[in-house]
Amino acid sequence: MPADPVRAADKVTAKVERIFLDSNVLLYAFSSTDPLKRERARALADAPGAVISTQVLSEFANVVLRKFSMPVAEARRRTAELAARCDVVVVTAPLVIEAFRIRERFGFGFFDSQIVASALSAGATTLYSEDLHHGQLIEGALRILSPFAPAARQRRAAYKVRRSKRA
């Protein structure tokens, strides 16, 4: 029996959910201490519909250079790979002005407000960030989620240093 052409067309034109990724989430892709967060961050960056902004690219580049002491050539390559992998929203003057309105309405810091403004302008339905309020709905259209929330809520065991019993 031939495939239904209407259903086949629906699959081709199906809308992919747009997700916006904050730099604090993307930086976990390079975590050497938390493999679960590293894999989650990498999966989000590779997801169809992943969106970032020029602000996120700048923050990412700054942190990998300054805090991770990544060589410039590698930081440039990683930043370029990220830009190629995701849709990139250019932070324009109107987005900067929109960030003020979001700050006034929701009380976020200015740069967090600019992230929210960029996510809204991209038509994202989810903003993944560790810096904002997990579960909060913005303007009835954008849900803020921490991709690591279940792990963050788990009780951590006390850290103990074990010393070898060599004499």
pLDDT digits (tens, 9 = 90+) for 121-150: 999 999 999 888 888 999 999 999 999 886
Please check whether residue 78 lies inside any domain of the structure: yes
Please check whether residue 161 lies inside any domain of the structure: no
Token digits for 8?
């086949």
Please check whether residue 121 lies inside any domain of the structure: yes
Global pTM reads 0.79
Tens of pLDDT, residue by residue over 81-134, are 999 999 999 999 999 999 999 999 999 999 999 999 999 999 999 999 988 888
User: Can you tell me the distance from the alpha carbon of 165 to that of 154, in angstroms, rounded to the nearest whole number?
Assistant: 32
Q: Count of domains in the chain?
A: 1
Please check whether residue 137 lies inside any domain of the structure: yes
The residues near 147 (Cβ < 8 Å, ≥ 6 apart) are: 25, 40, 41, 44, 128
Please check whether residue 166 lies inside any domain of the structure: no
Name beta bridge partners: 89.
53
| pLDDT at residue number 30 | 82
Please check whether residue 163 lies inside any domain of the structure: no
* DSSP letter, residue 2: -
Q: Find the CATH number of the domain harbouring 25.
A: 3.40.50.1010
Please check whether residue 77 lies inside any domain of the structure: yes
Tens of pLDDT, residue by residue over 4-51, are 444 444 445 567 899 999 999 999 988 788 888 999 999 999 999 999
CB 155 within 8 A of CB 132: no
Token digits for 119?
């996510």
Domain span at residue 20 reads: 16-148
Please check whether residue 6 lies inside any domain of the structure: no
